[in-house]
Amino acid sequence: MTWTLPNILTLLRLLAAPGVAVMFLYFTRPYADWLALLLFLGAAITDWFDGYLARAWKQESKFGAMLDPIADKAMVVIALMVIVGYSSMSPWLVLPATVILFREVFVSGMREYLGAVAGTLKVTSLAKWKTTAQMTAIAVLFAQGVFEHYLGMSAYGMDQALFEQIMAGQEEDLQGLRWKYAGMIWSGYIGLALLWLAAALTLLSGWDYFRKAMPHLREDR
């Protein structure tokens, strides 16, 4: 491989994928949430830059074309695993995450079976929108974890009655509980909505890939 800047960015994104999970092993929350969010956002930004720079500088390579989708999938799969693992296992979160993981495994298996033929099945704009929706949803859901734990830290030691009075506006909100609660609720709703959108786009792009691969999967070939 050639050590061009686009290839280096892609490799760094691949290495960042397990780093998202490692943050929760060595740091307490909400610091782990912050670091995972920043690492994920940095990786998502490089996902755009490496492809743009490779095309602009005419540095597209086979290594980059091979590694780029692997880095994307590793980042999405590991981040979803972390989010589901630290969630309340709500079916509203687990179901779209399962759809996304199933599609990625299914398409990766088809690509492995097709071998060199897989390279002729070009990436569509639908697949790019799918990746964008996945990464945006995951970033918002990581942000929800940040709001949730700052809310918990601010309300630590506070009795339920006082908490409810503050939330109702009957007591002065010295700790900023209301805006932290609002951030937690809205980022949760928005993150879930985006994840369901990502799951729908994931299914559509998976079906599109399967439809294009069908002529190469027939027994009579």
CATH architecture group of domain 5-216 = Up-down Bundle (1.20)
pTM of the full structure: 0.84
Decide: 23 and 35 in contact? Cβ < 8 Å.
yes
Residue type, 53: L
Classified as helix, coil or strand, 87 is coil
pLDDT, tens digit, for every residue of 70-111?
888 888 999 999 988 888 778 899 999 999 999 888 888 887
Give the tens place of pLDDT for each residue, 110-159. Answer: 877 777 666 666 667 788 888 889 989 999 999 998 898 888 888 888 88
Q: Where are the domains of the chain?
A: 5-216
Query: 42 with 16: CB under 8 angstroms?
Result: yes
Among 178, 182, 184, CA closest to 140: 184
